[in-house]
Structure 1
Amino acid sequence: MNIWIDGKEANQPNRVGSGQFAFEVIRNLEKLDHKNEYTILLPSLTMEDLPKERPGWNYKILKPNKLWTIVTLPLALYSAKVKPDLIFSPTHYIPRFSPVKRVVTIFDLAYLHFPEMFTKKDLWQLTNWSKYSIKKADHIITISKSTKKDIMKKYKVKSKKITVAYPGYDRKNYKLQITNFKLENIKKKYEILGGYIIYIGTIQPRKNLVRLMEAFARIVHLRGETKSTSGLHLGGGLQLVIAGKTTGPGRKGWKYEDILKTPKMLGIEDKIIFTGFVPAEDLPVLLYGAEAFVLPSLWEGFGIPVLEAMACGVPVIISNVSSLPEVAGNAGLLVDPYSIDQIEQAMRTLLTDKKLGGKKSKQGLEQVKKFSWEKCAKEILRSFNKLAN
């Protein structure tokens, strides 16, 4: 089988979200499959950490970059002397025209549930192009059963047209021994003074960070009332670390201005740390040192940071909506994302109940074993084989 892959999302620095997914799937397909022929299509020179070329694994640079799915990819497909059997897009957008079968990836339909939380440009693109991709693709890859059900319901797609391929996490990166020396150096780097709760993800309205900070402010303002599992007074030294990107190259958050203003409005500026983008090598250390990980999203296609937190043995607090209960299983402490009371109580519980925190930590370490990028790539490859046959 001759397979082409749109590698644009994978070929960028500081990968998160769809870029991380595209990179890991490409990397694991190269490891797994030496039988089929692959061509990875890129708009620029290959980044060094992508798999090296070999027989059956090649890169092709195409121009122009701006009209990538409308002109560049269709032109490459129609002009190819030897056409591929299929083209795989690890993003919401397939080539607009194609003489070959197309496989698309749909991460979530948050743009339908919360249109007001997207920029006008992104909303228009997601609404129109995702609909086109879902209707015209020969097969759809998605990352949770929750999103699969959503696609079936919103777009009237049959179950057999959709494959669920759960994302994984970088197991090698999360097997490292974390020493107190490493932890103290990382805390110093990000100006963390004591104990902390952590959020990791994009900085955008759907992540529900304003309610998270409001819940955290209640704990801080009741300082000295109770102690955490580490003996830390809940008020005094506790901080909330929000790790996510707002500037620089690569994908970053959006509509985050109000989020960044919230700490000042709540009078907790010294208690909130916005780290900006955190390199992959720092994440395990930051997570390992946290008293809890919180992801109170209004909607998630999956939630890779939940896996990363569980892999570090950190108890997780997650929303009781969309895919998050599916990801965390019985390891997650579930909250209504609209309830500041529930978010506050969940954080307070994990800070004060050592026994429960230990139980959730063990359950998380078991739950995370179910997920890997290798399994994800195998599911995707299986869908290619079915489509080809």
Structure 2
Amino acid sequence: MNIGFEAKRVFHNRTGLGNYSRDLIRLLSQYSPENNYFLYNPKSSASKLFEVNDNNVFEKKPSSSFYTTFYNLWRQKGVTEDLVKDKINIFHGLSGEIPLGLRANKIKSVVTIHDLIFVRYPHLYSFFERKIHFYKFKKAAQQSDMVIAISEQTKNDIVEFLKIDTSKIKVIYQGCHAVFKKDFSDNEYKEVITKFNLPKEFILNVGTIETRKNILLAVKAIKNLDTYLVIVGKETAYTNEITNYISEHHLENKVLFLKELSLQELAILYKLAKVFVYPSLYEGFGIPIIEALYSKTPVITTLGGVFLEAGGPDSIYVNPTSINEMENAILKLLQNDDLREEITQKGWKYVQKFNDEVVVKQLITSYNNLVKL
């Protein structure tokens, strides 16, 4: 098959949607090399986030000066002409969008919807952002031949809010980059410890530093604990709220902010951490939880929502508004080596359900079934 992908985030997004897109292409190229994968990139990228192999993975850009200038119009409409020229059998929108004209040109379509956070937490978005997101997601879900949800939570939201028939939706979990499954040498650990001046013992959080991620809860929870918190992620206005709290309570020496780590540095950081905390209010899935479990680091995350799907039955779950629950959970793991080891081993066994082979088999099966229709 020739399979096309809306690849803006493959080449331009360093975080969640970009990582999902790159991992998916990597898995397909590795485990189903008999297909050709065309990545439709609307514009040149400033940095090399992804390397095509020109064997079964190809990068495609607008071919005319008009669409090179008006690249968003190309993404929405013009790209369909290129899909026809490239004899694309299936087009997969990796982040909630597909272009116009696919059905008219007999091109099967798939769209992945990661979450409907803008519906669940509308106060985190502007009026126009909510309207635009809702319009694009609903239109893509209605017009596509299949919708992929990255969790049961997201599937339920798609049915409830977008009114899409459940028979059209397939839940396929995200994979996890291979670097989080690697072992590292003592020297590699020492290099990361030295480079970032890491404390001997610390708890870790990874993710964009925004209100929804709720990391201030963990900052408050360690105020009276003999430990350190390392926070990795892109900063937003919410960071000011955190730093103000840190300043008011003289916690500057207990909280370390890091950003723009390489994937290997991040993977080593996960393994060095005693505990991973993820007190997010809502996620479509929560890939950092998976990364932590693969890294054999015990997880404390949030009650309700998708978090049990990602963390499994043996992670620790707390009320995202309770400082005491978070503090007690951290303390329990730090003080009990046997419990930490038990949770680590059970979590590692659970996370094998997200292995590459499982994910790609579900995806290829879905593509094949779609072509047969």
CA distance in 1, matches of 2:369, 2:252: 54
Q: Give the aligned partner of residue 93 of structure 1.
A: 97
Q: Name the residue aligned to 2:200.
A: 194
C-alpha contact (below 8 Å) 2:24/2:175 kept by paired residues:
no
Deviation at 1:199, TM superposition (A): 0.3
Q: Relative contact order: is structure 1 or structure 2 higher (C-alpha 8 Å, sep ≥ 6)?
A: 1
- State the shift of 1:71 in Å: 3.7
2:143 maps to 136
Secondary structure of the 2:170 match is strand
Tell me the TM-score normalised to structure 1 length. 0.85
Farther off after superposition, 61-70 or 193-202: 61-70
Task: Give the AA of the match of 2:274.
Answer: E
Q: Tell me if 1:77 matches 2:83.
A: no
Please state how far the C-alpha of 1:69 moved relative to its aligned partner: 5.4
8 A contact 1:141–1:380 mirrored in 2: no
Contact 1:146-1:301 at 8 Å conserved across structures:
yes
1:349 and 1:183 map into 2 onto residues whose CA distance is 26
Distance 1:191 1:121 in 2: 43
Aligned residue number for residue 40 of structure 2: 41
Percent of aligned positions that are identical: 27
One-letter code aligned to 1:305: P
Q: TM-score, normalised by structure 2?
A: 0.89
2:164 corresponds in structure 1 to 157
Cα gap change, 1:150/1:29 in structure 2, threshold over 3 Å: closer, same or farther? same
Q: CA deviation at 1:41?
A: 0.9
State which of 198, 213, 216 in structure 2 corresponds to 1:210: 216
RMSD between aligned residues: 2.4
Report the counterpart of residue 363 of structure 2 in structure 1: 380
CA distance in 1, matches of 2:155, 2:131: 22
Find 2:287's aligned residue among 294, 297, 304: 304
Q: Matched residue pairs, number?
A: 363
Separation in structure 1 between the aligned mates of residue 356 and residue 120 of structure 2, nearest angstrom: 28
1:149-177: CA deviations, max 9, x gaps? Answer: 22112222222211111112123453223
CA offsets per residue over residues 19-62 of structure 1, 9 Å max, x none?
001011111112222333432211245847433112x5433112
Alignment of 1:278-297 (within 5 A): 278-297=261-280
* Residue aligning to 2:21: 22
Note the alpha carbon deviations across 1:98-123, whole angstroms, 9 max, x for none: 33332111111111111222356644
Query: 1:53 is matched by which residue type in structure 2?
Result: D
- 1:66 and 1:347 map into 2 onto residues whose CA distance is 52
Task: Tell me the residue number matched to 2:178.
Answer: 171
Question: Post-superposition shift, 1:131?
Answer: 2.3
Stretch of structure 1 that moved more, 77-86 or 315-324: 77-86
Q: Provide closer, same or farther for how the CA distance between residues 306 and 32 of structure 1 changes in structure 2, counting only shifts above 3 A.
A: same
Decide whether aligned partners of structure 1 residues 200 and 48 sit closer, same or farther in structure 2, where only a CA change above 3 A counts: closer
Equivalent in the alignment of 2:5: 5
AA aligned to 1:183 is Y
Match in the other structure for 1:223:
none
Paired with 2:283 and 2:68, the residues of 1 have a C-alpha distance of: 29
Q: Equivalents in 2 of 1:48, 1:110: separation in Å?
A: 26
